[in-house]
């Protein structure tokens, strides 16, 4: 006769299976994937994936903005040079 003291049916009821409502996705995620956000004394939960995505999105938008402003500056400079050159050629 063997003594099995640990009940096997209770193993699934751990913290890992806890789910929380994500205010960003408006769905439930695992608690392990969530981060607690406190704003104006209100505690809300948001998933780490959406936080990372938003941060990446902002960084990409910033990089894209810098790229476009640099491109715009180069383009306008080129256009000004062309205008100046054509004007000089016409005058000469």
25 sits near Zn ion (criterion: CB under 5 A): yes
32-50 burial, b at 16+ Cβ within 10 Å, e below that, comes to eebeeeeeeeeeebbbeeb
**Closest CB to Zn ion among residues 27, 41:** 27
Which C-beta is closer to Zn ion: that of 1 or that of 42?
A: 42
Minimum gap (Å) between residue 33 Cβ and Zn ion: 8
d(CA 89, CA 83): 10
Per-residue contact flags (x/-) with Zn ion for residues 33 to 72, judged by CB under 5 A: --------------x--x----------------------
Nearest Cα neighbor of 46 from 54, 55, 38, 37 is: 37
User: Which residues contact Zn ion by CB under 5 A?
Assistant: 22, 24-25, 47, 50
């Amino acid at each position: 006769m063997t003594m099995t003291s640990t009940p096997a049916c209770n193993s699934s009821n751990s913290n890992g299976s806890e789910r929380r409502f994500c205010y960003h996705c408006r769905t439930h995620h695992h608690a392990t994937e969530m981060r607690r956000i406190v704003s104006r004394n209100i505690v809300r939960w948001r998933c780490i994936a959406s936080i990372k995505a938003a941060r990446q999105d902002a960084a990409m938008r910033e990089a894209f903005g810098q790229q476009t402003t640099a491109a715009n500056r180069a383009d306008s400079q080129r256009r000004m040079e062309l205008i100046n050159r054509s004007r000089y050629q016409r005058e000469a």
